[in-house]
Chains A and B, each alone.
Chain A
Amino acid sequence: MNVTRRNFIKLSAAAATAASVGINFPKNAKAREVIDKWVKGACRFCGTGCGVYVGVKNGKAVAIKGNPDAKTNFGFLCVKGFLAYKVMYHPDRLKYPMIRQNDGNFKRVSWDKALDHVADKFRYLQNKYSKDSVAYYGSGQCMTEESYTFNKLWKGGFRSNMVEGNPRLCMASAVGGYVTTFGSDEPVGSYADIEKSKCIFLVGSNTSECHPIIFRRVMRHKLNNPDVKIIVCEPRKTNTAKIADLWLPVDPGTDLAVFHSMAREIIKNNWHNEDFIKNNARITDGKNTYDFKKYADFVDQFTPEKVEKLTRCPAENIKKAAEWFANSGATYTMWTMGLNQRIRGVWANNLMHNLHLITGNIAKPGADSFSLTGQPNACGGVRETGSLCHLLPGTKPVANDMWRSYVEKAWEIPEGTIDAKPGFHTIKMFDNLGGENNPDKPIKGMLTSTTNPAQSLPNLNKYLKGMEDAFLVVLDIFPTRTTQLADVVLPAAFIYEKGGVYGCSERRSQLTEKCVNPPGEAKPDIWIAAQLAKRMGLEKIIPWSDDDSMTANEKAWTDYITVTKDTEHTLWGAKYDRLKKEPAGLQWPCPSLDHPGTYKRYVRGMDPMFNHDGFKKLFNKEIPSDEKIYFYMDKKGEGKANIFLRPYAGPAETPSAEYPFYLTTGRVIEQWHTGTMTMRVPEIARAHPNGYLEIHPDDAKKYNITSGDMIKITSKRGTNILPAVIVENSMPGILFVPWFDQHIDRMINFVCNDAVDKGSKQPEFKIAAVKIERISGPKNVADRYVIENINSEFPGV
């Protein structure tokens, strides 16, 4: 690149940066645009929902910048966001449909041949076994239009509720928490509450690594307002805790006791908000209602001193946390997998909401109990479109007669088409997946999209054979552990190659327009779904088989927002034309074209549902005119939220003589999920080239381990062999392993527990009891292992 061009690029970069934050740029510096066009969109990674512009030149994505008008990131990007281009142009991209032959190898075929084969096989299986013998497993990374389309095809076309998505593995407990506490999924408030808060409580979240842009907002708020208190509750003292005024260390799975203890301190010191509780909440165990005294008496047993013995969280820290939480004036809590991926994940979410309800830290500026979503479109794509086995669009249950009938009418399908019986949740679905020769496995075929269950399921050994024996169709952009078990591989387009909507953690839907064409013959999922529907005689159900993805997307989106227009999730005001123009997307409820979107739910004057006649009529809601705060989805129709009496319950496995350690798992900032994309990026892979085991110095000393030594970690379910990294950032007895590594020795989900929360059916990834053994000194592990060859075998299967 010549010097002049280099200078122009740097000048453009600097000028754009200055403009994004309102800094004057030198008048004599003439920045020349080096990009043909900038296309508005959302970031591909994490549930923050950063707004971006993708720079296109000569039909290629050559630049990316933050959208300064975006209400999520205000124009800034983290390291993962800007590396999407390397994924897009990587030589490993799947470009052609492939069918596995009798010799076990894949053969490239035409789209017609591949789709005919899939349709014929699905039809054969459904006719021979049942309408529920073919399942769909989607993802919180699919576009909303894609998830909606597959959901409609399966439930309205195949009449099957065997529809699930990987948010079952990450967000189901958060859903359960919101629905049981408030009557409706997703947060009351928004990210905007961060900058209005006086106390921020980060629980079960390594925000600095998993949601770095949100962390930046918290950090900036603290820097600008030193009196703001930051409390971090985590087994590991991660980078997030560096800005904390108070760290609550806690053994994995025991934090329910800490939350109860905080409640106890709040009540004992009379820091609770009696008026708020009386007017806006009730005490319940899920069946019966009680007075506040019952709740106070219940939590009284959780003295900080007793809880310290149970959890190792210091009593003084609990007391201080309770004081700050209750008395700040506006407390904002954020959490993610640390609360969700547990057998009592729903309860953990309930207890967090409890603290906000008893102190009145909800439904006001700066205060909220906010669940951070992991994936970029778990909210918009899977939760809101109802793409789970028990739901329909609008997040209402399939078992709800009124709603089922309503959706049937909206979809123009005969009454009685949609099955009232929920399908199988994810773990049960994969447990029942198998070959035709296995009568114990009723699901014989599956289509997966944008997810890698052959790496991401817990207790992995249990589910691999089923995937291998079944007729498995995989839509993806790279070879993965799951394509190693597939019968058909369909190459998918990436977000900037197809466009579509993502809905992030704060109920904000943002449209990405198509920027460039996909490589080879890769296609958008929505086209694949429509072609399948056509071949199976269901074109009327999915009438958007356009080759142009944006045209198809818009039709699907319009269909979706029409069905849900009178629900509390309404996006009726978010038509495609408007989403294209809106600089920062729109937060639902957004009932009309002139509505700006909703910052805060359940508050009169802020939430349009108070005056939404269609909603009130459809769901028979009466909202008293004198109520300022009203939780209108309360099942009892009283406008109240539920403060839950939940007993203490620990994890499914606790350390024992045989398995003396807690194992917890998670992400690191540079790697995304199972590393199929980020491990292909050399710079990211170099930062964390392989999985590793974090161990406390005291434990390392006991086992004679030094950093780099190879350690065998074993649970009741499986084993990994990993290099050790000795760190002081957690308590003795707690081990941490990141889950991005694809190498067969380092896929930690072989070790993880698939015990599920009874309510949400979300597995307990975060906690397992394990033992360790030093195997050897440092070894030259296969750095940056990725599956490159589509015909490579899954070892041992």
Chain B
Amino acid sequence: MIFSGSLVTVKENKLENVKEFLKGYPQVEIYTSSENKQNIVVAIEAESDEKLEELCKTLSSNENIINIAHHYFHFEEEVEEIEKGNKQNISLKGFGKKKKKQL
């Protein structure tokens, strides 16, 4: 699982509108917004980096969202999964044949 701390930048006077829109996405949790009402601080939870990017692309298609930028990524669980060996078709064993090198 990936967690990001991200900044959603919105068009003028559209802060509440975008907040309502974001509430439709359970992976996105709203924490606070800027005084100038142009930025929303969110945390996003995603199964993977690809899912995170897919979600951000979907969110960015909202005409009132100008940009989504990431500041922080937490991936402790991902590191644990990799170290447990939960990856297919990876091995340095099983040496292949190669013609002899001319010395």
B86 nearest CB across to chain A (Å): 10
A91:B87 contact, CB within 8 angstroms: yes
Q: How far is the CA of A63 from the CA of B59 in the complex (A)?
A: 24
B75:A790 contact, CB within 8 angstroms: no
B67:A219 contact, CB within 8 angstroms: yes
A89:B72 contact, CB within 8 angstroms: no
**Is A687 an interface residue, CB under 8 A from the partner?**
yes
**Is B55 an interface residue, CB under 8 A from the partner?**
no
Assuming A91-B82, A219-B67, A683-B49, is B99 touching A13 (CB within 8 A)? Answer: no
**Is A1 an interface residue, CB under 8 A from the partner?**
yes
What class of interface size applies to chain B in its complex with A?
A: 35 or more
A62:B79 contact, CB within 8 angstroms: yes
**Is A60 an interface residue, CB under 8 A from the partner?**
yes
Q: How far is the CA of A89 from the CA of B75 in the complex (A)?
A: 12
Q: B53's contact among A55, A89, A100, A683, by CB below 8 Å, is which?
A: A683
B92:A13 contact, CB within 8 angstroms: no
B79:A13 contact, CB within 8 angstroms: no
Chain A residues positioned under 8 Å from B103 (CB to CB): 102
**Is A327 an interface residue, CB under 8 A from the partner?**
no
Tell me if B's interface is mostly helix, strand, loop or mixed: mixed
B7:A9 contact, CB within 8 angstroms: no
**Is B1 an interface residue, CB under 8 A from the partner?**
yes
**Is A29 an interface residue, CB under 8 A from the partner?**
yes
B50:A26 contact, CB within 8 angstroms: no
Q: A104's contact among B53, B75, B100, by CB below 8 Å, is which?
A: B100
B11 nearest CB across to chain A (Å): 10
Chain A residues positioned under 8 Å from B14 (CB to CB): none
Interface centre among B4, B43, B53 (most CB of A within 10 A): B43
A14:B96 contact, CB within 8 angstroms: no
What string of 1s and 0s marks CB contacts (under 8 Å) between B35-74 and chain A? Answer: 1000101110100111001000000000000110111111
Instruction: Please give me the residue from chain B that is nearest to A685 by CB atom.
Output: B50
What class of interface size applies to chain A in its complex with B?
A: 35 or more
Q: A788's contact among B77, B92, B97, by CB below 8 Å, is which?
A: B92
**Is A297 an interface residue, CB under 8 A from the partner?**
no
Interface centre among A9, A216, A479 (most CB of B within 10 A): A9
B7:A62 contact, CB within 8 angstroms: no
Mark out the residues of chain B between 1 and 30 whose CB falls within 8 Å of any chain A CB in the assembled complex: 1, 3-7, 29
Q: A26's contact among B32, B67, B85, B91, by CB below 8 Å, is which?
A: B32
Assuming A105-B98, A788-B90, is B32 touching A65 (CB within 8 A)? Answer: no
**Is A506 an interface residue, CB under 8 A from the partner?**
no
A655 nearest CB across to chain B (Å): 36
Chain A residues positioned under 8 Å from B1 (CB to CB): 1, 6
Assuming A61-B79, A105-B95, is B70 touching A76 (CB within 8 A)? Answer: yes
A683:B50 contact, CB within 8 angstroms: yes
Q: How far is the CA of A752 from the CA of B94 in the complex (A)?
A: 34
What string of 1s and 0s marks CB contacts (under 8 Å) between A1-42 and chain B? Answer: 100001001111111111011011110010000100000000
B2 nearest CB across to chain A (Å): 9
A86:B98 contact, CB within 8 angstroms: no
What string of 1s and 0s marks CB contacts (under 8 Å) between A677-704 and chain B? Answer: 0000111101100000000000000000
Q: How far is the CA of A12 from the CA of B72 in the complex (A)?
A: 9
Q: How far is the CA of A20 from the CA of B4 in the complex (A)?
A: 14
Sample of 11 A–B contacts (CB below 8 Å): A14-B29, A14-B31, A17-B72, A18-B41, A23-B33, A63-B75, A64-B75, A79-B49, A86-B78, A91-B87, A683-B50
New A-B contacts (11) at CB < 8 Å, excluding given A13-B4, A104-B97: A10-B29, A11-B43, A12-B72, A13-B3, A14-B5, A18-B32, A18-B41, A24-B35, A63-B75, A788-B89, A788-B92
